[in-house]
Each structure stands twice: as C-alpha cells, then as structure tokens.
Structure 1
Amino acid sequence: MAKSKREYGNESISMLEGADRVRKRPGVIFGSDGLEGCEHAVFEILSNAIDEAREGYGKEIILTRFRDGRIQVEDFGRGCPVDWNEKVGKYNWELVFCELYAGGKYDNAAGDNYEYSLGLNGLGACATQYASRFMDVVVRRDGKRYDLHFEKGSLVGEMKVSPADRKKTGTTITWLPDLEVFTQTDIPTDYFTDILHRQAVVNAGVVFRFRNQGERGFEETLFTYENGIADYVAELAGQAPHTPIQFWTGERTGRDRPDKPDYKVKLSCAFCFCPAHHIIEHYHNSSWLEHGGAPEKAMRSAFLSAMDGWLKQNNKYNKNEAKITWPDVQETLIFVSNNFSTQTSYENQTKKAVNNRFIQEGMTEFLREKLQIFLLENPQAVEEAARQILVSKRSREAGEKARLSIKSKSLAGSVDIANRVQKFVDCRTKEVARRELYIVEGDSALGSVKLGRDAEFQGIMPVRGKILNCLKADYGKIFKSEIITDLLKVMGCGVEVNDKHNKDLSLFNLANLRWNKIVICTDADVDGYQIRTLILTMLWRLTPTLIQEGYVYIAESPLYEINAGGKTWFAYSEKEKAEILTQLDGKKPVIQRSKGLGENDPEMMWMTTMNPDTRRLIRVMPAEAEATAQVFDLLLGENAQGRKEHIAENGYKYLDLADIS
C-alpha cells in the first residue's frame, strides 16, 4: 500500500533560527549560494572597514588571501564595539556577529556614527560569520585587545580580553568560507584586485593593500587614488580627451514620496569627452552599481538633453536630420559618478542598483545645472566633442542604411536581421535569454520607446496601422503582407504553416527564436486594443507554440496620469485611480487620460512600460489551446451570427471598458 502524504496542518509550519537562517538559505542574504555569494560575503566585511576609513578613522585597509582559503580584512579604525551593551542587555559582539539586522547604523538620525554608510542593513558581519567554517575576530580599542573565535555560527569558548597598546586600534576579521554553505569557495585573484581597485577609486586617499599568499610567500599590490574619481577618469582618458576633466560635487535634500521623510544625497561625478575610450561607471555609498538604476537614468537624460540642445542651438544638424540618441553620446563619454545618501533603496542585498526616485530626480537636476555652465564655459572643447558625437551618429545611420539594403539573404543566413527589416531596432546583447522584443504601433511610438528603452537588451519592431485579421484572411494575403512577414523575420523562429504562398519564411523551429520575451505594446485605447488583438491573432494562427510556451506578453499602459503637489502617479485601472486619490490627503489632483505612447517622454516610457522593476507585463498563457482557438475564431472569424449571440449574452460585462462618450 502506497504511503500517504503527510497532512498539511498547523504543525507543518516551521521556522529557521540562529545560524540556520543563513546556512540553509545563503542565497537570500548573499544573492547566491555559489561563488558569487561567497564573493559578496567578502564585500560585506570589507564594507565595514571602508565605512570606518571614510569617516576618518584609519587610512589603510589590508585584505589578505591565504593559500588554505582563509580571508582576512584588517582596518585601523576605532575597533568594533564588543563589550556589554546596557541598553540592549547583551554583549555587542552578539549583536554584531550573531544577530541579523543589528549594528551601529540604524539609530543614526543625527549622523553620530556614520553619515553615509555602505553597510546599512545590519547583515554583513553576522551573515558572513554564520556562513563560515570558522571566524576569528580581533578588536583593539580603549587600550584592550578582544579575541573571539566562532565555528559554524556559534562562539567557541568565551571572549578573551587582554591589555593592548592604547594607540593601536582597529578590527581584524579572519574567516574560512564553508563549503557546506556555498557550492564554491575558491575566489579568484581577479575578484580581490577588481573590488579593491574600485574601492580605491571611490574612496579618495584610502590605501587598499592586497596580500596574496603563494608558494613563495606573500605578493602585495597597492591601490589608491589621492583625488578619487577625478584621477581615475584622467587615467582612463590618457593623453587625448576632447574636453578637460570635469569634477563636480553638490548636495540635494528631498524625499521619494510625499509621505516619506527627507534625506540627504551627496553627489559627485567626473567626466570628459574622449575619442579613444568610452566607459561609464556608477557608485553609491562606495558600492559599484553594476546595473545602474537611478544614477544611470539621470545621466542619460541630462547628457542627451544637453547635447541635443547644444546641437540645435548652434545649427549643427543638417536639414531634416534625425536627433542624436544616447548611444551616439555614450560612444565618446567617460563618466564616473560617486554618490552617497543617508537613505538608500537597493534592488537587493547585493547592492547592484539603486532605485530611489529622489536620487534620480536630484542627480538629473544637478547634472543639467552643471552641464549648462560647462557648455557655456568650454566652447572649443564642446565643439570638438559635439563633432565626434555627430560622426558617431552619422556612421551609425550609414551602417543602418547599408544593412537595410541587404534583402537577398535567407532568414537562416548569418546576416543580422537588422540588415533586412526596415525600421526594426535591434538591441546590443546576443544572449537570447536576455533579449526582449517590443512590438509597438507606428513611428511615433517607435521614437518614444527607442529613447526610453535599455538598448542593451530591448529591441523594437513597429507595425504600421492595423494588420490583417489572420483568422479571416487566406495564406496568400497573409504572406504578401510585409508587416506580418517583417515581424516574423525579426522573431526568427519561422511559421507553423506549410503553404505554397510562403516563399520567404522557414518552417517553425523554436530554437531559432531570437528573443526571450515578445512584448506587445499598444496604446490604452480602443484602437490600441484592436491592434493588440490582431497581433495576438496573427501569432496564434502562425506561431501558436510561442503562446503555448509563454513567450508572448502584453505591456500594460497606464489609463490615467495623476498630478498633485508636484508629484505624479499612474493608474492602470479605475480602481487604482480611486485608491491613489484617497491617499492624496486633501491635495487637489489634476487627472488626465494617459497620452498615447508616441507622446510619452523617455523617462515616463521607461518607468511605466520598459523598466523590468516597475513595468507591468501580462504573460499570454492559454490554459487550454483549443479553447483559446475557439474564442479567437468566434470573435474574429467568419461566424458573424455566433459573434452577435456572444455579444448579446456577455457584452454587458465589459461596458466599463468601452470608449463611449
């Protein structure tokens, strides 16, 4: 007799306690249970040392990698408090090394401990201790030396206290990452040198020493930049920048939402226009923002607007010439930002992007003000930079024209699809798992989406007008439609139709699909809904597997834009509009029906429709393919009488969606 499943009841719920919260789920804290997570644990310990040095306590940090896999971080700061904490009723070493969400950076409204801190979450030292086979901590402060030894999350023995030189202070942490927690612990040398180099860039004057133990002893490498990012940009530019190295600093105070408290942002950036190199890096509270976020959007908006405005004002565009795009500016730009804030919203514990609304707004305003002055005070240098931007733009356009002239290659050929389909805009990455195709209606939407997208992984295909109803049209008409065949070429997977009228498209092969997501993006009005339905119908008839396998999505567009008190909200339904209005606390709102996609500015397009963190995508995933086919056939096929009966029986359910005035 088969064993029955255990009943799911009150006794089924359990919780992890102590070290198990990290040891059994390291990916929650470190972002991964693999090598990347193990590397991030190093960064967590290093962050605490950096916070001390940036506050002026010790100007050198030593990171050592031993041959047996041990890692050591030594700083010369004030020394981590480890003695009895009367307020909490525990030893501070317990709070720092054995309690998640505890530390010296929470009760910090007046900036008593750290005004700007990289380690804000109270997780790093404790989580790393929990994830180690063992950890040794040596603290020197107040004329005493404190020694702690942990094994797999627990203190072994007691804290040892002995006299020490009062002049020598700091914290030394040595640990061995545990293979029972991480799948890999052999961190390569490149990780250590890269992270220390980046920290030297954004912590001006701090000396980072890397000691790597090899067969012949320790090899040492020093990293330091006396003037921080300004020296770094000068190093990258070499001898031939178009413009002098600019270093700007400033502060802004504001809030992310009307009901949130104000916080302070310290902004700094260094940049130059350079013909030989282009590199862009963003840092926040010393953490490298690999995925950018708010600072990246602010920089793009400010630089693109400033350079386009300068080119127009100085009549540098040819007659009827298209405007520059961000890649044209990026091609000649070296830009490094190094910002700090008293409150920071990272995308997760690994700190690879920040998404604070005020940080983006404050940095955009800051850069626009500084760029306005820069353009006025450096006319000759700006002239040369602008010339190079136009060279990049016109070279790109010439290349696009050359590609569009190639029509004879087959779909399976090696020529990029952008060479063959007019107005298709490809993305840069070739990794199919990251690529997203946005299908938009018309040229105006194409322009808006193109400026608002992330060109790294988002491509665009415009459709001109309403395409054929593929449930009514025969295959002869369908395969004569350039709109349909161009879209199918861009998708790359061919069609699930073996018909004599199909002369240009291969038979369907899912492995040839060039995209991980196919996103239908139309206006939130009757025409937009109809175009969306026609595209879905075409996909269902010609490539139904894409829908069945979940590759097709719909991008929701907001119905309303609500402005009040200098802030903007977007409502995607009547219900959301009502909820937003109830939260405005007496402020008089201005409500307007959301514009068409072609009228949206790039920032709004990115925030509402393109940004993976804030957009709303609906996956088109039929529960039953046959039922979906029947609905498509009923609504768009030849059965007019059946359609009338369906509307008579069910139309009342959708009256609130009808655009009736």
Structure 2
Amino acid sequence: MTTRTAKKSTSAASEYSARHLQVLEGLEAVRKRPGMYVGSTDSRGLMHCLWEIIDNAVDEALAGVCDRVEITLHQDGSVEVGDNGRGIPVDVEPRTGLTGVEVVFTKLHAGGKFGGGSYAASGGLHGVGASVVNALSSRLDCEVDRGGKVYRMSFRRGEPGQFDDPRSGPGPESEFTPFVKGSELEVVGKAKRGVTGSRVRYWADPQIFLKGAQFDYDGLVRRVRQTSFLVPGLTLVIRDERRLPGTPGEDGPHEEVFQHDGGISEFTTFLASDPPVTDVWRLQGEASFTETVPVLDDKGHMVSREVERTCGVDVALRWGNGYDTHVRSFVNIIDTPKGGTHVSGFEQALMKVFRKQLETNARRLKVGNDKVEKDDILAGLTAVVTVRLAEPQFEGQTKEVLGTSAVRGIVSKVVETELTQRLTSTKRDDKAAATQLLEKVVAEMKTRISARLHKETQRRKTALESSSLPGKLKDCRSTDPDRTELFIVEGDSALGTAKDARSSDFQALLPIRGKILNVQKASVGDMLKNAECAAIIQVVGAGSGRSFDLDLARYGKVILMTDADVDGAHIRTLLLTLFFRYMRPLVEAGRVFAAVPPLHRIETVASGRKKGDLIYTYSEAEMRRTVADLTKKGRSIKQPMQRYKGLGEMDAHQLAETTMDPEQRTLRRVTMADAEAAERVFDLLMGSDVAPRKDFLISSADQLERERIDA
C-alpha cells in the first residue's frame, strides 16, 4: 500500500510542469477573480464598482477643479456618474500609444495618482478602479468634455469598439463591432467654451454578478451624504429612475441633493445621538515624513527613492452623556471601517492625554488608585478622524485598513497637542466642558470597576439567600434563565394581586413606585443613584451600559406589566428608555416584553341551560364589536360592564387568566430593527430638547382619537 501511494505522488509531481501554468493578460484576471478586486459578486460588489467611479469624480473635487457630481440610476439597470472636473485626458499616452481614456479604462495600474503631480491626495491609489469596473461591465460608455469638443468611447466587457444602438436607446444587447486595427476616440459633438467634465455610464455584467444583485439606494444615500460632509462645498445629486417598489422613487423619478459646508464638524453633529457634554472640538495639524517608494526615472525604469510626504490631520469630536462610541475614520475621502494607523494614533493620544489630566486633577476628581482604560474614555464619544496624504498604503483594493506607519505618530502628536490645549484652556466655556468631561470619564471608570466586582462576586441567589437583592423583589424558585420571567409591576396594589396570580416556580415580581427617572435626560451617575433604576439593574443581574453581559441575565424574559391607561403607557415608555439606554442587548435579543392586560370584562346573563360567559376585550373598538355581536345573537349583558383602570382592580384569577398565564396571555415583544431610528425616536420623545418634541406633538395632533383619552 505504501509503495502504491509513493508511485502515485511521483506521477502527480512529474505531470505538473510549466505548461500547466496560466498567464492571464490585461483584464482577464479581473473577470476570472472579481472577488479579489471588488470583494464579492453580490450587491456589495456591485456597490463597490459604483464607489470606484464616484470616488474618481470626487477626487477631482479634492483637487479643487470640480464642484458638482451627479449619479443617475437608470431604469434599464445601468448607472451613470457625471462630474464637471477637468475631464479624462484625451491625448495620446506616449508609452502605450493609446488615448488617455483607453488607458484609464483598459490598463490595470494606470492613472494619474501614482505621483505624477495630478493629485496631491486622492481616493484612487492603485489605478485599477475604472478598469475593473469596465472589465466587469457588459457595456461601458465614457463621454469627455474637453477643449470645446465632446469625445466618446464605448467598451464591451473591457474591449473597445462601437455599438450600433437602435432608436429606443443604448444597451448592452446592441450590435457591437470591436476595433481591429486601432482604437478610436470619437468626437461626437461640441462642448460650450470653458465646459469640461466626464460622464461614465455602465451596465454591470450579469455573467459576473449574481441575479439578485442590485444598487442599494439607502446605502448610496449614506455614502453620498458622508462624502458631502468630507468635501465641504461639493454638491452631489442622486437621481433614481428605476421605479423599484420600496424605494423613494417607486412612484416616479426621485432626486436628492447633498451639500454641507460645515465639513466634519457638521458630520460629527449629524452622527451624535445623545445630549452633549462638550461642544464639537476641531483638532487640526500637519507634519512631514519620509518614506522609500519606487518611482519611474527619466528612462522609464523603477528606482527606489526617499520621498518626503505631508500628512494633514483633521479631527472633529464631541462627548455626550451616553456610553456608545461612534468613531468614523477616513483617508482622503476613503472610509476605513476597520481603522488602521490613523485610528491607532488617535486612541493612543486620547489615552495619554486623559491619563495625564486625571493624574494632575486626581484629588479634585477623587480618582483614587484606579487606572482609566480606553473604554472609559471612548464612552459617549462621537468622532470623525480624517487624514490627507499622497499615496497612502492600504491593505488590499477594498481599502478598509490604512497601513502607512508614519501616520500613527503624526496623528497622535496633533491630537495630543490640540486636545491638551482644550482641556487646559482658561476660557470659561472650555473650562466648564473640560471639568464635566473629566468627571464623566471618572464616573465611567468607577462604574466599570463596580460592575467587574459585582460580576466576580455574583452568583444566583435562592429565596433563602437573596440578601444582596432588593427586599421588595418576590423571586422565583427556578434558577434556569430559559424558563424564568421577571414581571416589573406598577405599584404595590398590583403587586398584591400579581403575587397570588403568578406561578412562583418561574415567575418573579419586582414592584416599582410610580414613574422612574427619565434616563434619556439624566447622567449615568443620576441613573445609578435612582433607587428604582438601581433595583431593576441589580435584579436583572447583568450589569449596565458597556459592562452589560447578556449571558449573566437572571431571567429569560423581562415583562413590563403596567396599567392599561395613559399613566401606565408613560411608565412603560420610561422603563423601555432605561432598557434601551443601559441594557440594550436585552432588547436586541428580543427578551423584553410588554404585558397586555384587558380593558373590559363582559359577563353575559345565563339563559336556560346556557351558562353565562366571561369575555375580556383589550380596546374600545374590540369591546364595541363584541357587544354588537352578542346583541345580534340575542345574548344579554350584565350591566355595568367592568372597565379596568388598573391592574389592582382585577382579582388574582382574572389577572392570571388574562395577563400572566403563559397558556392564555398575550405578550408584545419589544423589537429594534433599526438602532439609529430607535435612537432618534427616544431622543425626540424623551430627550432634553423640548422644541422638536413640541413640533412633533403639534404636527401629530390631528391623528389623536379623543375617545381614547381617560378624562
């Protein structure tokens, strides 16, 4: 057996020779391995192609020669990107003998961003963006306005040629004639004097991209809005002509225009969702560094040379009273979602500055011997970190991580210098904000330490050893989180009824007195000082904020059981605000519910042998329908009907039957499909800014049903 295997291996080795190697020329490599260049062949890859063309247009704006970019999603599935920049060069490139348009769209690693002086800083770096899009398109048309003429060139799957389009319009199915002897950049019209720019329209190749892949309108809006913040003064227009269901343009062509002159300061304000502790602070600076790069000499040979680069740093940041962190980082205009050396330098500077400031003010802030950690500083931080430099080094064509090592030290130095000036400023407003910020960081540090100690000492208490839990908690016997339920009950009167109605084996009760603190407005410290909030967090047993650990939650379900009136709805909203703000993973996991107690109890009169029935209804409309049906059937109803104003008005068996018994009750699961939308709603309804809430109430007043008001 050993001999046979050895022979087989020897044979396989001898058969593998140079003739088995494949050399892919030009754009063949892109079509063979598209994932290497655009990440995937689904909608994400489709959008990546669009970003490549948009970023080329925006690079013109970064160079100061373009102020408008238009993106059109056509009904036939194609997309067009136009700009009023300088226009793609139309003259002949000497080394290849091809026009600039053909070089850009057919040659990998070719373009104006390799240090030729055309762009000081740009998003395009590898010279493959436009050519990759061309290779992955069944058709691409490029028009250039330059020198008073309109030039045009078309490609089919990367090959230049001419399409014979019908009167109905252009498309990839039109008859195509490739250029045989030489390519031709056709002049198709005249451009107005002084008008320059480029327009690129392409049809993604169905042979490459999956059948269900399509352009994501919402994703496009997010990216374009982001770009408008990063390039102040640039106007970006999105026009959707597809009429797709579920999009803003389903009823007809839809257009949105984005322009933000406030830059990343405005971007930071847009991203922030919590009430501010500080204003938006802008930290700016630049420094030079040298790096060894290969460059072309006069003879066209690659040689290594020391090149001096300038790195510009621009950071906008503010702290809010929440604990979530939003740090967005960019190199030129390219989003780097996975960070890189610029983010490392930013975080390094934050640690250094805050540790020094807390050490200096240790006695006043009562820091003690505890050490601040990165998460304590990042809590509530919203920041946009941008760097501008020529030819940054990225990890891969998708450009998600910056690798230029010198940037770390430059960003760290700029942030350290500028932020220290802010925190040590003698101006009244800056001084007050700095004090409030340092107090917040210390509070976060102490909360983290307390949570860790609590986690280390915590163990599931039984009814006999629950001394560390609030005395008003009526715990259950089971210790299995998959079975147990915690009912948060409004008031002691409801607690008495619920105690008799529950199954003590797996249902625990925690009463609260009236309306708890509105934590959307309050600070972390105030929340922890509030007896009701502290009791809820302690009973749930999984910590709060950043330290919340879903696996430590003592109950599988948390059920908010409040009265079926306006006050009950308000208390439920306050409780949901607490869970959303400080125990969000519990909501995201679908483990928070609202009980649905009935509003009415209808008892029918017994007639003959037929016994009287008990019917519970949960709304005025349902009650009216039920009464009408019973009257229609000739059934009499005992008067007066019982209208429950509160849970305490029910008997224990009624509460168990309608609201607590898993076999018969109805629960509403609290879900959070869109965290950003939920954040905006909570901030509108529960935040400290009164004016937007007043406007919302006034604008929604006509939707109010007067009959639903308890008066």
| Both proteins in one fold, TM over 0.5 | yes
2:220 equivalent among 182, 189, 192: 192
Q: Which shifted more, 312-321 or 226-235?
A: 312-321
Instruction: Write the mapping of 1:590-601 to structure 2, written as runs, cut at 5 A.
Output: none
1:403 equivalent among 455, 463, 467: 455
* CA distance in structure 2 between the aligned counterparts of 1:11 and 1:231, rounded to whole angstroms: 59
Residue 347 of structure 2 is matched in structure 1 by 300
| Corresponding residue SS for 2:284 | strand
2:195 equivalent among 151, 163, 168: 168
Residue identity matched to 1:306: V
* CA distance in structure 2 between the aligned counterparts of 1:236 and 1:24, rounded to whole angstroms: 40
Instruction: Write the mapping of 1:225-304 to structure 2, written as runs, cut at 5 A.
Output: 225-237=260-272, 240-255=275-290, 260-276=306-322, 278-304=325-351
- Shift of the 428–406 alpha-carbon distance from structure 1 to 2, 3 Å rule, reads closer
Q: CA deviation at 1:374?
A: 1.0
Residue 357 of structure 2 is matched in structure 1 by 310
* CA distance in structure 2 between the aligned counterparts of 1:295 and 1:319, rounded to whole angstroms: 30
- Shift of the 188–327 alpha-carbon distance from structure 1 to 2, 3 Å rule, reads same
| Corresponding residue SS for 1:262 | strand
Instruction: Write the mapping of 1:381-530 to structure 2, written as runs, cut at 5 A.
Output: 381-408=433-460
Q: CA deviation at 1:320?
A: 4.5
Q: Which shifted more, 328-337 or 309-318?
A: 309-318
Assess if the C-alpha contact under 8 Å between 1:143 and 1:166 holds in 2: yes
* CA distance in structure 2 between the aligned counterparts of 1:76 and 1:185, rounded to whole angstroms: 30
Q: CA deviation at 1:343?
A: 2.6
Q: Deviations over 1:208-244 (max 9, x none)?
A: 1111122433211122210210112233447942223
Q: Which shifted more, 334-343 or 397-406?
A: 397-406
- Shift of the 209–12 alpha-carbon distance from structure 1 to 2, 3 Å rule, reads same
Residue 91 of structure 1 is matched in structure 2 by 99
Residue identity matched to 1:174: R
Q: Deviations over 1:145-190 (max 9, x none)?
A: 0111111111123432032223321101011111212235312212
1:126 aligns with 2:126: no
Q: CA deviation at 1:264?
A: 1.3
1:351 equivalent among 377, 380, 399: 399
Assess if the C-alpha contact under 8 Å between 2:284 and 2:418 holds in 1: no
* CA distance in structure 2 between the aligned counterparts of 1:231 and 1:335, rounded to whole angstroms: 11
Assess if the C-alpha contact under 8 Å between 1:141 and 1:166 holds in 2: no
Assess if the C-alpha contact under 8 Å between 1:250 and 1:266 holds in 2: yes
Assess if the C-alpha contact under 8 Å between 2:358 and 2:367 holds in 1: no
2:206 equivalent among 173, 179, 182: 179
TM-score, structure 2 as length reference? 0.55
Assess if the C-alpha contact under 8 Å between 1:179 and 1:185 holds in 2: no
Assess if the C-alpha contact under 8 Å between 1:256 and 1:357 holds in 2: no
Residue identity matched to 1:75: D
- Shift of the 371–130 alpha-carbon distance from structure 1 to 2, 3 Å rule, reads same
- Shift of the 133–427 alpha-carbon distance from structure 1 to 2, 3 Å rule, reads farther
* CA distance in structure 2 between the aligned counterparts of 1:427 and 1:104, rounded to whole angstroms: 50
| Corresponding residue SS for 1:404 | helix
* CA distance in structure 2 between the aligned counterparts of 1:429 and 1:144, rounded to whole angstroms: 65
Assess if the C-alpha contact under 8 Å between 2:392 and 2:402 holds in 1: yes
* CA distance in structure 2 between the aligned counterparts of 1:106 and 1:49, rounded to whole angstroms: 17
1:142 equivalent among 147, 156, 166: 147
Residue identity matched to 2:344: K
Residue 469 of structure 1 is matched in structure 2 by none
| Corresponding residue SS for 1:190 | helix
Assess if the C-alpha contact under 8 Å between 1:30 and 1:350 holds in 2: yes
1:207 equivalent among 235, 260, 263: 235
Residue 120 of structure 2 is matched in structure 1 by 115
Q: CA deviation at 1:328?
A: 1.1
- Shift of the 351–411 alpha-carbon distance from structure 1 to 2, 3 Å rule, reads farther
2:75 equivalent among 61, 67, 78: 67
Q: Deviations over 1:363-412 (max 9, x none)?
A: 00111111121111122111001111222222222222222222349999
Q: Please, what is the CA RMSD of the aligned residues?
A: 3.1
Q: CA deviation at 1:87?
A: 4.9
Assess if the C-alpha contact under 8 Å between 1:407 and 1:420 holds in 2: no
- Shift of the 204–319 alpha-carbon distance from structure 1 to 2, 3 Å rule, reads closer
| Corresponding residue SS for 1:74 | strand
Assess if the C-alpha contact under 8 Å between 2:331 and 2:386 holds in 1: yes
Q: CA deviation at 1:360?
A: 0.5
Residue identity matched to 1:202: L
Unaligned runs of 5+ in 1: 431-661
Unaligned runs of 5+ in 2: 1-7, 163-183, 244-249, 294-304, 462-477, 485-539, 552-711
* CA distance in structure 1 between the aligned counterparts of 2:263 and 2:149, rounded to whole angstroms: 34
* CA distance in structure 2 between the aligned counterparts of 1:40 and 1:428, rounded to whole angstroms: 36
1:11 equivalent among 11, 19, 25: 19
Length, aligned pairs only: 421
Residue 101 of structure 1 is matched in structure 2 by 109
- Shift of the 175–257 alpha-carbon distance from structure 1 to 2, 3 Å rule, reads closer
* CA distance in structure 2 between the aligned counterparts of 1:428 and 1:357, rounded to whole angstroms: 35
- Shift of the 274–29 alpha-carbon distance from structure 1 to 2, 3 Å rule, reads same
Q: CA deviation at 1:30?
A: 1.4
Q: CA deviation at 1:127?
A: 0.7
Assess if the C-alpha contact under 8 Å between 1:136 and 1:175 holds in 2: yes
Q: CA deviation at 1:252?
A: 0.9
Q: CA deviation at 1:287?
A: 0.6
Residue 382 of structure 2 is matched in structure 1 by 334
Between structure 1 and structure 2, the one with the greater Rg is 2
Assess if the C-alpha contact under 8 Å between 2:353 and 2:416 holds in 1: yes
- Shift of the 235–186 alpha-carbon distance from structure 1 to 2, 3 Å rule, reads closer
Q: Deviations over 1:263-294 (max 9, x none)?
A: 11111111122214642111101011100111
Q: CA deviation at 1:299?
A: 1.3
Assess if the C-alpha contact under 8 Å between 1:177 and 1:185 holds in 2: no
Q: CA deviation at 1:427?
A: 11
- Shift of the 61–314 alpha-carbon distance from structure 1 to 2, 3 Å rule, reads same
Residue 609 of structure 2 is matched in structure 1 by none
Residue 542 of structure 1 is matched in structure 2 by none
- Shift of the 201–411 alpha-carbon distance from structure 1 to 2, 3 Å rule, reads farther
* CA distance in structure 1 between the aligned counterparts of 2:32 and 2:213, rounded to whole angstroms: 16
- Shift of the 42–429 alpha-carbon distance from structure 1 to 2, 3 Å rule, reads farther
* CA distance in structure 2 between the aligned counterparts of 1:328 and 1:239, rounded to whole angstroms: 17
Q: CA deviation at 1:426?
A: 9.2
